[in-house]
Structure 1
């Protein structure tokens, strides 16, 4: 797709446009080596995903939050969480998000509404960070994502040897939420296919340039066993 983003998307800022959160929650989390899906593993006294949802519920501008789980997942049947749940998770993240977008439309969302897709396992995000993303993207023709400037020296490998040092000045680590218009994201994901691992990649695939909004090093994705202890320490420090 050629042309600037402002030429390829609908005009933003329509007064009726609402903001929705969508949380893909259908993964198995195999790398975390947890007993069951990692998003339900306990962190600081409660399942990790409930910390994530608490942060989203602290953002008053959100019209609602949809959690997308796998078929047969009954976790939320036992929770008093003020969220919508759709048991339409797919085999990949991209499929889960596409199915979730369709579920949002069925529940009354509109094509030009904004949707903020957030990882269930990024349980340390704060309402202030989410509000910062919204402020930066509400009038943007494309949308954007929280991200972190790469802090470390970046090496390119040749086997187990360094082949070169890569300039890090323009490198960022993608985080979530990632905020785009619902229909535009739906179309981009369908065009990009299942290989994309985040929503920005799909928007990039169709020729758009999402806005980078600086996030926080604490907004990391709990992925490996050692990450649980770090997340627990951060949450405990915040309570203290």
Structure 2
């Protein structure tokens, strides 16, 4: 992996425009809900850091030719070394990373700031940007490809999403931490979706959103919504869950073990 500027993409042949895709993975968070230890993105999953799994998930898509990893502000060197010791497409480490380049840049104090720093690091020539949580290490490549295809078809912003399995209650905040919360409504779950990543964007739209929206938001699609633009969904996948708590890590280990048994890697 090199810190030198990447060369611009080749000029497409006349009449055959090339739409290139880059992925930004913010990995600067501490992940305190997983308990003490290394930052969440660097926790091991099946003997390999979750961040490596997440980078591989993006690189496994033929559409993605660049992955920008946004490291902790003081940990970019550690993340570079970590990625250099792991092959991008799985298996033993090797000197070849296929057709996907990887850049590592230092992040900021918030997820929003880190994504913006990742966007700033993108060279010209990438028209589609995916933003993917490092804590979703097992997203299938078909989900990644579906997001990219929807942006290519003209959607300014795309999110993978799943129907809710549980009934949802809207509550008033408790008067004291841990206290009872009065229920005020039961939304119709048939029109609700649980949103995952990678979220895909027309690059210019995402850049404008980050330049315009200054409020703290939980995902990048919310920023595009603030611009008054339409965000569309594509089917998500149950294995694209977010590893947030210790039980999630147990589930992720089980999914990875099943994949290795079925796929032989």
Q: Is the 8 A contact 1:149 1:214 kept in 2?
A: no
Per the alignment, residue 259 of structure 2 pairs with 238
Matched, 1:42 2:63: no
Match of 1:187 among 208, 211, 219: 208
Per the alignment, residue 115 of structure 1 pairs with 129
SS in 1 for 2:138: coil
Q: Is the 8 A contact 1:29 1:37 kept in 2?
A: yes
Give the TM-score, by structure 2 length: 0.79
CA drift of 1:194 comes to: 4.7
Whole-Å Cα distance in 2 between the matches of residues 75 and 165 of structure 1?
Answer: 44
Q: Following superposition of structure 1 onto structure 2, how do residues 102-181 of structure 1 map, counting pairs within 5 Å?
A: 102-104=120-122, 108-110=123-125, 113-158=127-172, 159=174, 160=180, 161-181=182-202
Whole-Å Cα distance in 2 between the matches of residues 145 and 132 of structure 1?
Answer: 10
Per the alignment, residue 8 of structure 2 pairs with none
1:112-157 superposed Cα distances (whole Å, 9 cap, x missing partner)? 6100110001011011111122222311241311111122111122
RMSD: 1.7
Q: Which has the larger radius of gyration?
A: 2
Whole-Å Cα distance in 2 between the matches of residues 72 and 42 of structure 1?
Answer: 20
Whole-Å Cα distance in 1 between the matches of residues 124 and 22 of structure 2?
Answer: 8
Give the TM-score, by structure 1 length: 0.87
SS in 2 for 1:109: coil
Closer, same or farther: CA 173–78 of 1 in aligned 2, 3 Å: closer
Per the alignment, residue 93 of structure 1 pairs with 111
Q: Which gives a bigger RCO, structure 1 or 2 (Cα 8 Å, sep 6+)? A: 1
Whole-Å Cα distance in 1 between the matches of residues 155 and 161 of structure 2?
Answer: 18
Matched, 1:79 2:83: yes
SS in 2 for 1:55: helix
Whole-Å Cα distance in 1 between the matches of residues 20 and 61 of structure 2?
Answer: 13
Q: Which runs of 5+ in 1 are unaligned?
A: 1-13
Per the alignment, residue 10 of structure 1 pairs with none
